[in-house]
Amino acid sequence: MALPVARRIRTAFRNLPSLLQGYNLHVNPDKLRLVEHTLESVFPSASSFADLGGVWRVNAAYTVHTLRRSATIRGAIVDTDFPPRLEAFLRHQPRLRLLHGDFGNATTALSVGDTDIVYFFDVLLHQANPDWDQVLTLYAKQARCMVIYNQQYISGDRTVRLTLLPMEEYMAITGGTRSEFFQYVFEHKEDIHPVYGKPWGDIHNLTQWGITDADLRAAMRGLGFREVYFKNHGNFVGLPSLENHAFIFIRR
């Protein structure tokens, strides 16, 4: 989604430290530190990880950072699209598996297999059919630690399916700028997307949910996980209803 110029400038300034580590300006240093904290303080004995949906814009930076921070950990990165040059680079990483597909698909989850750590960075709010909590349930069966960085909904006490709102209200909450794209999606919600095989209204290319902290925590408790880390990283690109929140959950 294209960002207005002012938002792009703010994001670039915030992410400037990422350049010093060899990453691009879309890579969030807060997430890099979250990776480091997980590996060094929460789960130093981890031998495996999975980065779900970790390609778009950041070029698999959090996967690469994990491999750099641990000399022995092995991982898998899952996404629907890998740019050719990036895919060639990643395939030369001996401790990494590339999995093409929707990580919300049960078959894809089986391909990921049992793993110590799973990253959900900026992805839960995009998951529908299966929904965000169903995706967590899917990976709770095979993960020992879930690391979540998500744009959380702070304008109400209950989680909201944003795509059920009127388009104008949806765009006000999410900051959507591609009005023609959203207009098409809202008019063709039940039509099947030719690539993803699900209705246009359920695709991950748009924000599907406003997830509250209370509902996320309740879901994780119900799955048998305890919260060991939380940090509020502040407002998401000037949108009053969304904040960047980081969580680490460990299986009891």
- For residue range 24-50, what is the model confidence (pLDDT) as tens digits? 989 999 999 999 999 999 999 999 999
205 neighbors 190 (Cβ within 8 angstroms): no
- Is cis: bond before 94, omega within 30 of 0? no
Residues in the chain: 252
| Predicted TM-score of the model (pTM) | 0.93
Range 5-251 has CATH code 3.40.50.150: yes
- Would you state the pLDDT for residue 16? 81
Span 123-159, pLDDT tens digits: 999 999 999 999 999 999 999 999 999 999 999 999 9
Q: Confidence class of residue 15 from pLDDT cuts 50, 70 and 90?
A: confident
Of the candidates 66, 122, 138, 116, which has an alpha carbon nearest to the alpha carbon of residue 96? 66
Pair type for strands 239-251 and 225-236: antiparallel
Q: Where are the chain's structural domains?
A: 5-251
